[in-house]
């Protein structure tokens, strides 16, 4: 689809730098695809949040790592 938009030069150059894109079009496509990927991941995380009761909490993991340090020494 062909669309005309006004993108600030600084933002476009930064997008080209971060994506490694050779053209402005490639930079915009990469940025849109990355945005969509991050949105899908966020939606998945929100849907799954709290639905895995068998996973360790951050506190449990930290405690386990601290206990493991004492056993190694």
Q: What is the sign, positive or negative, of the torsion defined by CA atoms of 56, 58, 59, 63? A: positive
pTM metric for this prediction: 0.62
pLDDT tens per residue, range 9-64? 999 999 999 999 999 999 999 999 999 999 999 999 888 877 777 777 888 888 88
Taking CA atoms, 15 is separated from 4, 42, 59, in Å, by 18, 21, 38
CB contact at 8 A, 39 and 50: no
H/E element holding 39? Answer: helix 24-48
pLDDT tens by residue, 8-23: 999 999 999 999 999 9
């Amino acid at each position: 689809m062909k669309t005309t938009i006004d993108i600030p030069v600084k933002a476009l150059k930064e997008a080209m730098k971060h994506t490694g894109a050779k053209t402005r079009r490639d930079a915009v496509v990469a940025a849109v695809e990355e945005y969509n990927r991050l949105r899908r991941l966020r939606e998945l995380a929100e849907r799954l949040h709290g639905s895995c009761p068998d996973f360790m909490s951050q506190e449990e993991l930290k405690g386990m790592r601290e206990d493991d340090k004492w056993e190694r020494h």
